[in-house]
Structure 1
Amino acid sequence: MFDLKEIPVPYVRANQWFTVLSVTAALLLSLPAILLIPLLVGVYSLLFKQNPIFSLTRPFLKKPLSSYAKEDGDQQRFNQWISVICLGLGSFGFFFGFPIVGYIFSIMVATASLVAIMGFCIGCFIRYQYLQWKHRRQFKS
């Protein structure tokens, strides 16, 4: 397989596109149940540290995994947590009669994934700020 501390960029991009397309389909088709697909994939990947999207992507890669640029595995798991929380809250909103909540969290996760594809990782920024805050707090005492 590959080192879980580093994830090849094509796998990360495939997961981001999967999220963007799933959420977009759910919203455009007015089928919020589609949100359960990326939610369940995200939960599965967090629980078992294996993402099914990676397995689906592998046959399309032409080079060996070791030749691709890598993303930090811890950062990607942090991002996946954010995605799962937002998709969970979005699904909750749609299924329990709070469609505004559903739209807000669904659009947030799709936007974050799309922006990450374009080059700016919102989850990375959040994690960096959190780690800086934690570091300052630790050395303030």
Structure 2
Amino acid sequence: MAASLQPDPYACIDEVPLHRVRSNQLGILLSIIATVITQQFWILILPLLVQLVSRTFGVRYNLFVRILSPLMPVSARTESRELLRFNSLLAILFLAVTLIGAATGLTILAYISLAMLTAAVVLALSGFCLGCFMYFQWKQFNARRRLRRS
């Protein structure tokens, strides 16, 4: 019997559906809320691992997307994979700085980093992508620098 060819719902070539992006952001935000309520920074290891796995192997292996995506309204809008990789890198950086700060007793640094991540996630869930804005500014800076050299 021939196997039916079902398209992989998590296969994303260059664009990722917005409801999957929002599920990842919501997973990070829920982890932050749990961390702040319990004062247990080790909880942030989960979103850090999820982001590292997702960045390495793709959205298909993102635990937050797998769990929360079915709860979100399906969106036809998409976001660029390139932007998402940059945003993921920012999240990994903020999470790593937070965990290192908490582990080394630099709680002020940990909370500042956590506050910056929280602001970025809340803004993203509200519709403004701070990471996208930063990425655009970086691309503009590099383009202007190349033009000056020519």
When normalised by structure 1's length, the TM-score is 0.90
| Aligned residues between the structures | 138
Q: Which runs of 5+ in 1 are unaligned?
A: none
- Between structure 1 and structure 2, the one with the greater Rg is 2
Q: Deviation at 1:58?
A: 4.5
Paired AA for residue 99 in structure 1: T
**What's the counterpart of residue 15 of structure 1?**
24
Structure 1 window deviating more from structure 2 (67-76 vs 125-134): it is 67-76
Q: Residue 19 of structure 2 contacts residue 73 of structure 2 at CA under 8 Å; is this kept in 1?
A: no
Q: Distance in 2 between matches of 1:7 and 1:103?
A: 31
Which protein, 1 or 2, shows the higher relative CO under an 8 Å CA cutoff with sep ≥ 6?
Answer: 1
**What's the counterpart of residue 36 of structure 1?**
45
Q: Distance in 2 between matches of 1:31 and 1:122?
A: 27
Q: Distance in 2 between matches of 1:58 and 1:89?
A: 28
Q: Which runs of 5+ in 2 are unaligned?
A: 1-7
Q: Deviation at 1:54?
A: 2.1
Helix, strand or coil at the partner of 2:13 = coil
Helix, strand or coil at the partner of 2:46 = helix
Give percent identity, aligned residues only.
31
Q: Deviation at 1:68?
A: 1.6
Deviations 1:45-87 (A, max 9, x none): 1111232222223444675xxx621111110110000000000
Q: Distance in 2 between matches of 1:3 and 1:60?
A: 19
**What's the counterpart of residue 55 of structure 1?**
66
Divergent runs of 4+, >6 A: none
